[in-house]
Structure 1
Amino acid sequence: MPKTPAAEVAVGARSVRVTSPDRVVYQATERTGEITKLQVCQYFAAVGEPLMRAVGERPTAMERWPDGWREGMRLATGPQDREGDGFYQKRLPKGAPDYVETVAIRFPSGRTADELCPTEPAALVWAAQMGALTFHPWPVRRPDVDHPDELRIDLDPQDGTTFADAQRVAQVTKELLEELGLRGYPKTSGNRGVHIYVPIHTRWTFDEVRHAAIGLGRELERRDGGVTTAWWKEERGRRLFLDYNQNLRDRTIASAWSLRARPGAPVSTPMTWQHLADVTDPRDYNLTTVPDYLAGGDPWAGMHDHSYSIEPLLQLWETLPGGELNWPPDYPKQPGEPPRVQPSKKVAAHWDADGNRIES
Structure 2
Amino acid sequence: MAKEEARLTVSSPGGDREVRISSPGRVLWPQLGLTKLDLARYIVDVGDAFLAANGDRPVTLQRFGGDVDGEQFFSKNPPRGAPDYVRSVTVVYPSGRSHPQLVIDEIAAAVWAVQMNTVVFHPWASRSGNPDNPDQLRIDLDPQPGTGFEDAIPAARELRSVLAEAGLEAFLKTSGNRGLHVYCPIEPSREFLEVRHAVIAAARELERRMPDKVTTAWWKEERGERIFVDFNQANRDRTIAGAYSPRALPGATVSCPVRWEELDQVTPKDFTIVTVPKRLQDTGDPWAGMHKKPGTIDVLLGWWERDLAAGLGELPFPPDFPKMPGEPMRVQPSRARNQE
Shorter-chain TM range is over 0.9
Query: Who is 1:118 aligned against?
Result: 104
Q: What SS does the aligned partner of 2:258 have?
A: coil
Check if 1:198 corresponds to 2:184.
yes
- Cα distance in 2 for partners of 1:272, 1:285 equals 13
Shift of 1:66: 2.6
Q: What SS does the aligned partner of 1:203 have?
A: coil
Check if 1:151 corresponds to 2:137.
yes
- Cα distance in 1 for partners of 2:297, 2:121 equals 26
Query: Who is 1:17 aligned against?
Result: 20
Match of 1:328 among 289, 309, 318: 318
How many residue pairs are counted as aligned between the two chains?
Answer: 331
- Cα distance in 1 for partners of 2:268, 2:132 equals 33
The superposition leaves residues 49-87 of structure 1 with CA deviations (integer Å, 9 ceiling, x where unpaired) of: 1111111110000011131212xx4xxxxxxxxxxx111
- Cα distance in 2 for partners of 1:218, 1:170 equals 14
The list of structure 1 runs, each at least 4 consecutive aligned residues, that deviate by more than 3 angstroms after superposition, is: 347-350
Give the counterpart letter for 2:51 in structure 1. M
Query: Who is 2:229 aligned against?
Result: 242
Taking structure 1 as the reference length, what is the TM-score of the superposition? 0.89
The superposition leaves residues 153-198 of structure 1 with CA deviations (integer Å, 9 ceiling, x where unpaired) of: 1001111111001111111111222222210100000000000110
Give the counterpart letter for 2:272 in structure 1. N
The superposition leaves residues 283-328 of structure 1 with CA deviations (integer Å, 9 ceiling, x where unpaired) of: 1110100000011211101001110011111122122342111011
Equivalent runs, 1:156-175 vs 2, <5 Å: 156-175=142-161
Distance 1:335 1:97, change over 3 A: same
Query: Who is 1:141 aligned against?
Result: 127
Shift of 1:3: 6.3
User: Contact 1:227–1:240 (CA<8 Å) still a contact in 2?
Assistant: yes
Query: Who is 1:284 aligned against?
Result: 270
Match of 1:313 among 275, 278, 300: 300
User: Contact 2:141–2:227 (CA<8 Å) still a contact in 1?
Assistant: yes
- Cα distance in 1 for partners of 2:99, 2:296 equals 30
Equivalent runs, 1:1-360 vs 2, <5 Å: 5-12=4-11, 13-28=16-31, 33-70=32-69, 73=70, 85-225=71-211, 226-279=213-266, 281-295=267-281, 296-320=283-307, 321=310, 322-347=312-337
Q: CA RMSD in A?
A: 1.4
Q: Percent identity?
A: 50
User: Contact 1:90–1:115 (CA<8 Å) still a contact in 2?
Assistant: yes
Listed as ranges, the gaps of 5+ residues in structure 1 are 74-84, 351-360
Listed as ranges, the gaps of 5+ residues in structure 2 are none
Q: What SS does the aligned partner of 1:346 have?
A: helix
Shift of 1:229: 0.8
Query: Who is 1:354 aligned against?
Result: none
Q: What SS does the aligned partner of 1:153 have?
A: strand
User: Contact 1:66–1:132 (CA<8 Å) still a contact in 2?
Assistant: no
Shift of 1:4: 5.7
Give the counterpart letter for 1:137 in structure 2. P
